[in-house]
A and B are shown apart, each in its own frame.
Chain A
Amino acid sequence: MILIVAEHADDRLKPISRELAVLGRELADDLGRTLTVAILARDPASLVEECRALGPDRIVTVAGDRLEPYDPDVWTAAVEALVSEDEPAFVLAGHTSTGYDFLPRVAARTGRPLVPACIEWQRHGERVVFTRPVFNAKMHMRVTPKGEGPCFVTAAPGAFPPREPDEAGSGPPQDGGEPRLDAFDVDLSGLPVRSKRIGRESAAAGALDLGSADIIVAGGRGIREKEHFGLIDDLAEALGGAVGASRPVVDSGWRPRDYQIGSSGQTVSPRLYVAVGISGAVQHLVGMQSSRCIVAINKDADAPIFKVAHYGIVDDLFSVVPEITRTVRALKGQSPPVGSAGSGRESD
């Protein structure tokens, strides 16, 4: 059996749950196993309908007041109990702030292998080989879990995209009929409370909504200094687009938090995304890889951003970006605005 631990919020499945179903179904079919989706919630019944659409062979519900709000100790205990009861071959969760928070605890408690941030898998004879990005995605590492017994996997968000609803073969299995529905009883009420959520807020309470932008020019750590970020502003202005940033730009205070694109920032899919001096870490790609056209400008030809780009220029951004801005302006008959950073840089 393959066991998926579904993620949900506000009585809805999170998108990662659909991605886990893709990976889970692939593994189940290839290994000739069944697919079970586990719902851990205060009131799992409200999520059963949505879980049916994931096409599992079985849905198992675990109900308990302590399961929400999420507490890693409680989720660890529940999943560990499920695993020792059902003995699944693989247990899948998202490489998300929930999945990578509790699944490592279950793996360590049972002394069984964990593959974090899995992006791909293959069969090698009897064994399954998983691929995970290492060295900030500059390299890929293939690993084989050792020994017998359950193996734990967190799937990188975006790595197993669900098929569009209109494509053939998606949706619940037509022939397999209804998935079996089981309730799993485990007493979680006696667990000590070691961590307690006392608040929740949005860090990027600013007004910048990049989700609806048609064109985004995003700058990364390759810009090196706050003063140089005007290069990005200029190109964005010439293209009539918005400005975005990778996390280090925001962490360094060059731009406010609401400019950040990626897993802990905004998710965007503009018509055109220009990534300047951004390496293409998994957490950044998650936020922009569905953009229609991606341009990457980076001096490192091996930078992982080129894996998702449509057009790439391998060169120093400080020479290339002003040229692009100039070309676009010439094309559109614009003249550079007075005091733009492009002219500012000539003086340093």
Chain B
Amino acid sequence: MSPGAAASGRDTLMKVIVCLRPVPDPASRLFVNEDRTWIKDAELSFVTNEADTHACEAALELCERVSASRSEAGEVVVLSIGRDRAARVLREGLAMGAARAIHLADDDFEGGDEYVRARMIARAVEKDGGADVLLTGVQSDDLGGGVTGVMAAELLGWAHASVVVGVNAVEAGLRARRELEGGLIETLELATPCVLTIQLGINQPRYATLRGIMAAKKKEMKTWSRGDLGMAAGDVGSEGALCQVTEVRVPERDHRVQMLSGSPAEAAARLVEKLRLEAKVI
């Protein structure tokens, strides 16, 4: 039995909680909202953050490998914050194979930054009896800060490794491969419980099968409010955020770019001429 399981009196060999964040479909056209503090997102379609689907796959594979080698069950729990959008990504996680879901939903949860969400995640993990491993995606396709998982590790008092491109259970805990700059990879041994932030490309996330989708409907989904997490109104949403959003804007385009228009053949001809005669690079 793993140290985390022993401490919490759980009988599963390995419990992995995965955070799934709903984000606007990356193909969406984005417009700034009226008060210029976020985007107009009411009409957008939302999907599971790309890195989080890799995290979910990594959790399922980790538990499958552990179960296969030690003939004890592992459990994957998916966790998400937000209203219907979050419930939808949780159902996707369940359809992929997670055992159950935790949905943090409350009107007070609107807005907020990485710190607020890290606190909520840490509270939820504790309320659910802890875990051996908490996984998040390396970064989200909306805020893209890449820090929520690391903050959650700190608030839980757990070890962590960020930008993980490989993970395996070993006697001492986990062995993780972490990506550094310039193609360098380091291998770490981590004590559990720990947090890993999962990098894109670590695996090929499985598609939910029809059977998985049907089975997901019968799986447990707990819904917890702010009160359930024992947090004050001032701790969540934009009030709990440590940074105030002053403005969201479309970046100015650098004036140096020359846009070449016309039919494909015309644009191509213009480009080649510019590259030859103006930039003199070909």
Contact = CB atoms under 8 A, between A and B. Distances in A.
Contacts, number: 263
Contacts of A326: 268
Given A143-B243, A143-B245, A306 B257 contact: yes
B51 to A, nearest CB: 11
Contacts of A139: 30, 32, 39, 248-251
A100 B279 contact: no
A116 interface: yes
A101 B275 contact: no
Interface string B219-239: 000000000000000000000
Contacts of B275: 272, 293, 295, 311
Contact of B260 (A204, A250, A257, A313): A313
A251 B265 CA distance: 32
A225 B71 CA distance: 40
Contacts of A236: none
B183 A203 contact: yes
B134 to A, nearest CB: 14
B191 A313 contact: no
Contacts of A320: 264, 267-268
B242 A114 contact: yes
Contact of B30 (A112, A135, A257, A328): A135
A181 interface: no
A258 B245 CA distance: 39
Contacts of B201: 247-248, 250-252
Describe B's contact surface by its main secondary structure. Answer: mixed
B187 A327 contact: no
Contacts of A133: 144, 251
A174 interface: no
Interface in B23-69: 24, 26, 29-30, 32, 39
B161 A251 contact: no
A215 B30 CA distance: 33
Interface string A192-226: 00111111111110000000000100000000000
Contacts of B132: none
B139 to A, nearest CB: 9
A95 B275 CA distance: 34
Interface string B100-137: 00000000000000110010000000000000000000
Interface string B175-207: 100111111111111110010000011000000
Interface in B157-189: 159-163, 165, 175, 178-189
B259 interface: yes
Contacts of B153: 105
B178 A97 contact: yes
A107 B151 contact: yes
Contacts of B247: 141-142
A266 B150 contact: no
30 contacts: A72-B150, A97-B178, A97-B181, A108-B150, A108-B154, A114-B147, A114-B151, A115-B243, A117-B145, A135-B30, A135-B142, A139-B30, A139-B32, A140-B250, A142-B245, A142-B247, A142-B249, A145-B242, A195-B191, A202-B183, A203-B184, A257-B183, A272-B282, A296-B257, A304-B251, A310-B258, A313-B268, A316-B264, A324-B271, A327-B271
Given A144-B244, A248-B200, 5 more contacts: A134-B143, A142-B249, A197-B187, A198-B175, A215-B282
